[in-house]
Each structure stands twice: as structure tokens, then as C-alpha cells.
Chains A and B, each alone.
Chain A
Amino acid sequence: MNRSFFQQKRDRNETAARALLFMSALVCCLLVVLILGFMVVTGLPLFGQNQAMDLLTGAWSPHNGGYGIAPMIFGTLWISFLSVVISFPMSLGCAAYICVLGPHGKATVMKRCVQMMTGIPTIIYGFVGVFLLVPLIRNTAGTGSGMCILSASLVLAVLIAPTMILFFIQSFDRVPRSWLDAVDALGGSRVQKLVYVVLPACVKGIVTGTVLSFGRALGDTLVALMIAGNAIQKPDSLLDSARTLTAHIALVSAADFESMEFKSIFLCGAVLYLITALVILGARLIERRGTHE
């Protein structure tokens, strides 16, 4: 009698806890949907017919009533793509040195340093970039203000490198110990270990890490806002100034609520959201394929 009473109480607690935990997880997920929802709900009524499409593809020429965000999309893609291109070899080299090529004693210290680097605030990269790198680029190039795609990409490359390195190290560490021992037993050098065993085994991890870092570069606001110059134009060269979607949102959000300029930032937000979703989905698909085979 008594026992079943406790049993019931226990079951009730268990069910209640389960429900509470599920609700919290659900709320978190709904938030993600809500973020897109709020942008669409606030943004959508602002557009007339076909306006959304014009905004997405058209050119930016406020005098003729054109408020297309295409230049910003190009700016974003240029800057994040270039920063990944710069950062990828550097990160791969560092990760290889830490995990395989370098002496074992230094590995832990260097990994700690890289972890610390991820903690450096973005605003500090931007601040130092403005006062150190921009004048340097200006003087070297001889033209322009120094605030250009190249400067922004260089700073962004250093910014995303630690994250990329940690991704790579994580996937290097998953290579089975016995494989590495086998190379040592066969008398292979460290470089041979890296090239013939570790890298082929980690292709998926490397691709995933790069894709996610691309997502990170894409979403960065401060570096592009402070260093890329923010001119609205389709960039032609690396020394051209450009504006990213993120910087556009930051700059225009202070503008007049009724203007078309203001309406365009919700579209920018939605585009960024969708690109991020694609990046995450892509990274997950790559990893999924790895586990099935």
C-alpha cells in the first residue's frame, strides 16, 4: 500500500520533470523559428508587390528609387570567401604542426594559446585593424583610404583562424592511435604520417570545419563594419571598398523607420539567416555521410 503510494509519486515527478525538460528544449527551438518569424512579420508588410524581388536583385541607387541589396550580398561573399582562402592554409599548417609535425611537448601549450585566441573580443581585432593595418595598406597600395576588402579579409582571416584550427585539431585527434603507431613502426617520418594517413582520414572533418568557419566569417559584423569602408558598390578589385549585409544592418538601423532603406535591412537579415541555415545544413550533411559509410 505504502510502497505503491511512493511509486506513484515518483512516477509523477518523473513525468513532470520530463515534460519540463522537453518544454525548455522546445522553447529554445521555437526561438530559432521566432527569430525568422519576427523579421518576416515586421518586414513583410513593408513591401509592396514585387518589391521584395527588386530589392534582392536590383542595384542600389536611392536617387532612382532603387534599393537592391545585391551589392551587399556580393560584398559579403567576397570578404568572407577571401578570408577563408587566406585563413585555410594557415590554419591547416598550424593544426598540422600542433598535432603531428611539431614536438609533443609544445602541443598542449600551443593548443591552449589557440583556445585563448578565440576569446579575444572581435571589437579589438577591428580597433587595432583600423589604426594599424588600414594605414599600412593605404601606404602600400598608394591609392584609396586603405579601408577595403583586402584589409577586412586579412583581419577576418586572423579572427577565424583559431576556430578553424580547433575544428581541425578535433578531427585530427579522432584518427585511431593504432594507425599512427603503424606509421611509426614502418619507419615513416612525421610528414609522411601527415600526408598519407592523417589528412586522408580527416578530409570530411577539414571540409566541415572550413564550411563552418565560412559561416562564421559571413556573420561577422564589426570587422567588416570598421574596416571594409562601407561603400555601396559592386567591388571590382581587392582594394575597393565594400559593404557587407551585416554592416548594412548595423548602419541603416538608425535611419528613418518609414524609408525604403530601412525596410531593406529586414531582407538583409532574412538573407543572412537563410545562408547560415544552408551552411549548417551543408556541414551536417557532410558529417552524416561520413557516419553512414
Chain B
Amino acid sequence: MNRWGEKAIYSLSVLSCVLLFGSVAILLGYLLVKGLPALNPGLIFGSTPMVDALFLKRQVFDGIFPAMAGTLALIALAITIAVPLGLLAGIYMAEYSGRFTRSVFGFFFDLLSGIPSIVVGLFGFSAILFFHHHISESLAPCLLVSALSLAFLVLPYIVKTTQIALETVPQQTRITGLALGATRLQNIVFCLIPESLSTILGGIILAVGRCAEDTAVIMLTGAVVSAGLPDSLFKGYEALPFYIYYISSQYADQTELTQGFGACIVLLLICATLFTLAAIIQKKVRHTLLYRH
């Protein structure tokens, strides 16, 4: 290869970095420029006093507070459903599965993580339709259905992280407990899981981020434009990503649009915080939580 060829390849590779990082920088910069003016307590609480809104004394009508609360409730529910199931399945995959079950189950988990989120949403939607026709007329898309569908969506992430975390425990640590006479189960509970806790925790936080940002699932399974604070599992609710989507297609004036940009920044901040938290936990917590047992 001559010198010019080398130079060309090097330049192309630099160019692609500049293109990608540049476009993401433009994206974020545009968002900041447009959204910063809207970023004040009024964006979240509207004209309701902050303290009254936080203590649920008065309803917020023109802020994104109900949407944030809805997203929070949704995340909490979905993660509570997904984590126990995902953890157990992950432990099985890492420690108990044979060659056959591993490859079959592995395919299913890959498939589950590859299924478009809108299809998972459609599943939730058709399930509730099915129950509506066959069990009770009162069942309709609601918070619980969304949470369940979202839980299915993030399940493979949790399974995969747990499995990888357990599998990457060093061989020496793995056999020490067994050599001391622990059963397989004791070894898992008292040795392997504490050892890989930080990785698992990081995976769970990433799953939380995925719940926070997903729009396709919730728009089919119960998110609505105005519902106030979420107060029942069986009602519609507001969510931040859905609010942003709604603004992008239905905004009436410039103020609403600016509010939309503000909401984008809030969502981005939430996701960035979760992401950083996951990174820190995966790095640092190892040293503090590891030797608890």
C-alpha cells in the first residue's frame, strides 16, 4: 500500500468520527439553544406553586409535572416486575443451563431483545383487547398494561447482564466456595452474586433508562395526553416521552414548542444521569459492596 492510500484511509476514518460526533453535537446544541429559555420551575409546575404541587395539594395543569410523575410510576412498576424474573432467569442461564437449554433459551432471549418495541406494545394492546372481550368489559389500556409490556421489553437486558456478570466471575473465586463445602446454591447466593453485584446493578439502571425513554410501547398501551397525576393502576397516565411526541405533532404556538424542547432537555438529563450512575456503580461500588458477606 502506498503512502497516499494510507493517508486516505486515515483521513476517512477521522472524517467519519467528525461526522458522527459533529452531528450528535449539533443535535444536542440545537436542543440546548432552543430549550434553555424554557428551563425554569414554570416548565415543570406551570402556574401552580412548587410546594403545593409536590405535596399533591393542587393539580398541575400547564406543566410537565404529571408527565414526569407518570414516567416515574411506570419505571418503578416495570422494574419491580422485570428484575426478579430477569435475575432468576439470568442465574439459570449462567449456572444451571445445559448445552441444549442454553442455546435454545439464548435464542429466545436474543429474539426478545430484538423484537421491535412497537410489536411488544401491540402485544400488550392485543392482550388487553382479548381480555376486554373475554373477561371484563371494564378492562382498557392502562398503567398496569404499559408496565407489564415495558417489563417484557427490558427483561432480556437484565437476563443478559446477570448472565454475563456471573459468567465473568474469576474461576478461582468460583471454586473457593465449593472447595469449602458450600452447595451450588450457597455458592451462588453468598459468593457469585455479591461478587458481580455492581455489574448487575449497572445493567438494571440501564434498563431503567430504557423504560424512561421508550415511547412506542406506551403509546399503544395507555399513555394519554392529559390524565393528571397517576392515581390508579387501571387508568391512563401521562408520560414524558409521549408528551414530547404529542407536542411535536400537535403544538399550537411557539410557547408550547419551547416547552417541548424544555421537556426534551429534562428527559435527556434524566437519561444521562441514569447512564452516568450506571457507569459509576459498575466501576466503584465493586470495592465497597464486595466484601459485605
Spell out A's residues near B (CB within 8 Å). Answer: 10, 13-14, 17-18, 20-22, 24-25, 27-29, 31-32, 34-35, 38-39, 41-43, 89-94, 96-98, 101-102, 110, 112-113, 115-117, 119-128, 130-132, 158, 161, 165, 189-192, 194-195, 212, 215-216, 218-222, 226, 246, 249-250, 253, 257, 265-266, 269, 272-273, 276-277, 279-281, 283-284
Are A18 and B96 in touch, CB under 8 angstroms?
Answer: yes
Are B27 and A158 in touch, CB under 8 angstroms?
Answer: yes
Are B16 and A13 in touch, CB under 8 angstroms?
Answer: no
Q: Is B219 positioned at the interface, with any CB of A under 8 Å from its CB?
A: yes
The residue of chain A having its C-beta at the shortest distance from the C-beta of B127 within the complex is A38
Q: How far is the CA of A161 from the CA of B36 in the complex (A)?
A: 27
Q: Is B24 positioned at the interface, with any CB of A under 8 Å from its CB?
A: yes
Q: Is B191 positioned at the interface, with any CB of A under 8 Å from its CB?
A: no
B93 touches which of A25, A191, A222, A226 (Cβ 8 Å) = A25
Are B16 and A39 in touch, CB under 8 angstroms?
Answer: no
B85 touches which of A24, A117, A216 (Cβ 8 Å) = A24
CB-CB under 8 A from A266, the residues of chain B are 122, 126
Query: Interface with A: B59-67, B111-119, B229-237, which one?
Result: B111-119
**A–B Cβ pairs within 8 angstroms, 20 of them:** A20-B88, A24-B85, A28-B109, A31-B155, A32-B111, A35-B120, A94-B13, A94-B17, A98-B17, A121-B241, A121-B267, A124-B31, A131-B248, A192-B1, A221-B118, A226-B245, A249-B220, A253-B220, A269-B122, A280-B111
Given contacts A94-B16, A253-B122, A277-B111, 18 further A-B contacts (CB under 8 A): A28-B86, A28-B108, A29-B104, A97-B13, A120-B27, A123-B213, A123-B245, A127-B31, A127-B261, A191-B6, A221-B118, A249-B118, A249-B121, A272-B116, A272-B118, A276-B114, A280-B110, A284-B110
Are A158 and B23 in touch, CB under 8 angstroms?
Answer: yes
CB-CB under 8 A from A272, the residues of chain B are 115-116, 118-119
**B35 shortest CB reach to chain A, Å:** 10
Are A38 and B126 in touch, CB under 8 angstroms?
Answer: yes
Please judge, given known A-B contacts A38-B126, A122-B215, whether A21 and B92 are in contact too, CB under 8 Å. Answer: yes
Q: Is B70 positioned at the interface, with any CB of A under 8 Å from its CB?
A: no
Please judge, given known A-B contacts A28-B89, A221-B116, A265-B122, whether A122 and B27 are in contact too, CB under 8 Å. Answer: no
**B25 shortest CB reach to chain A, Å:** 10
Are B10 and A101 in touch, CB under 8 angstroms?
Answer: yes
Range of interface residues on B (Cβ < 8 Å): 35 or more
Are A21 and B152 in touch, CB under 8 angstroms?
Answer: no
CB-CB under 8 A from B116, the residues of chain A are 218-221, 246, 272, 276
Are A29 and B268 in touch, CB under 8 angstroms?
Answer: no
Q: How far is the CA of A162 from the CA of B89 in the complex (A)?
A: 28
Secondary structure call for the A interface: helix
**A8 shortest CB reach to chain B, Å:** 12
**A264 shortest CB reach to chain B, Å:** 12
CB-CB under 8 A from B97, the residues of chain A are 25
Q: How far is the CA of A121 from the CA of B86 in the complex (A)?
A: 23
Please judge, given known A-B contacts A21-B91, A101-B10, A250-B220, whether A219 and B271 are in contact too, CB under 8 Å. Answer: no
Are B244 and A123 in touch, CB under 8 angstroms?
Answer: yes
Are B15 and A93 in touch, CB under 8 angstroms?
Answer: yes
Q: How far is the CA of A269 from the CA of B121 in the complex (A)?
A: 10
B89 touches which of A24, A91, A123, A273 (Cβ 8 Å) = A24
The residue of chain A having its C-beta at the shortest distance from the C-beta of B84 within the complex is A24
Spell out B's residues near A (CB within 8 Å). Answer: 1, 5-6, 9-10, 12-17, 19-21, 23-24, 26-27, 30-31, 34, 85-86, 88-89, 91-93, 95-97, 101, 104-105, 107-112, 114-123, 125-127, 129-130, 152, 155-156, 159, 183-185, 206, 209, 212-213, 215-216, 219-220, 241, 244-245, 248-249, 257, 260-261, 264, 267-268, 271-272, 274-275, 279
Q: How far is the CA of A121 from the CA of B209 in the complex (A)?
A: 9
Interface hub of B85, B216, B267, B271 (most chain A Cβ within 10 A)? B216
**A155 shortest CB reach to chain B, Å:** 9
CB-CB under 8 A from B85, the residues of chain A are 24, 27-28
CB-CB under 8 A from A128, the residues of chain B are 27, 30-31, 264
CB-CB under 8 A from B279, the residues of chain A are 112, 115
**A266 shortest CB reach to chain B, Å:** 7
CB-CB under 8 A from A212, the residues of chain B are 114
Are B16 and A92 in touch, CB under 8 angstroms?
Answer: yes
> Across chains A and B, which 7 residue pairs bring their CB atoms closest together, nearest first?
A93-B16, A219-B116, A121-B213, A24-B88, A21-B92, A42-B126, A221-B216
Are A101 and B24 in touch, CB under 8 angstroms?
Answer: no
Are B21 and A113 in touch, CB under 8 angstroms?
Answer: yes
Are B88 and A21 in touch, CB under 8 angstroms?
Answer: yes
CB-CB under 8 A from B111, the residues of chain A are 32, 276-277, 280
CB-CB under 8 A from B241, the residues of chain A are 121, 123
CB-CB under 8 A from A116, the residues of chain B are 272, 275
Q: How far is the CA of A132 from the CA of B5 in the complex (A)?
A: 36
